[in-house]
Amino acid sequence: MNPGATDTDRFFAALRGALSPVATSEPLPPGLRSAGVLVPLRDSGGKITVTLARRTERVPHHKGQICFPGGSRDPGDRDLLGTALREAEEELGIRGADVELLGAMERVPTVTGFCIQPFVARIPRDARFQLDGFEVAETFDAPLSVFSDFSRYRAAGTTFLGKPYAVYFFDYDRFTIWGATARILHNLGELASGLPPCGAAV
């Protein structure tokens, strides 16, 4: 590590080490369609934040929900990372050249028929977004540290793929984050809780 590295630099290096360097190659569960999402993190004044988006009411699926940029794999995508990067640029205007990939998380199956592969990436602290007005109503940043406070999650039990499955809900500011996005954040919070702290929750 560079002796001049900041706390956030050290945190990102540690997070990279905790993530998988590549996406899983395991077969998809039966009946599910593959999808990729980008989980954008950045240094916001010495605090690590997660960039999230709220979908519009005009999209055909997941109207008004909080999400990460991403979607189902298109035939032209070289892989699911290509899917996540393409969607991040289309939805938020995040250019691939500005993304520092940190690694992949475990896949998240959804009751809506997808199996989502999340990719965690560092984006510039001064990134400005150009939103697709049809798909994205707004973006907001939340401190990563709040998602390691597991007392803030609510869960509803159900059965999925023949096994018990918890659907998470998380309230932040005026937003309720739930479903696959909340599960990805819960998983990321678990990873982050084992790393050196960087910034305080608000």
CATH of the domain at 133: 3.90.79.10
Q: Is 81 a member of any domain?
A: yes
Angle between helices 7-18 and 180-193 (to 10 degrees): 110
Q: Is 58 a member of any domain?
A: yes
Q: Is 200 a member of any domain?
A: no
Question: Contact, 38 vs 23, CB < 8 A?
Answer: no
Q: Is 202 a member of any domain?
A: no
Place of tokens 């500005």: 98
Q: Which helix (H) or strand (E) holds 87?
A: helix 80-92
Whole-angstrom Cα Rg for the chain:
16
Q: Can you give the residue range of the structural domain that contains 84? A: 7-143+154-193
Percent of the chain with pLDDT over 90: 76
Higher pLDDT among residues 111 and 173, named by residue = 173
User: Cα dist. 97→93, 94, 100, 101, 122 in Å?
Assistant: 11, 9, 8, 10, 11
Q: How high is the mean pLDDT of the chain?
A: 91
Q: Is 161 a member of any domain?
A: yes
The neighbouring-strand residues paired with 21 are none
The domain total for the chain is 1
Question: Which of 7-11, 141-145, 187-191 bottoms out in mean pLDDT, i.e. has the lowest?
Answer: 7-11
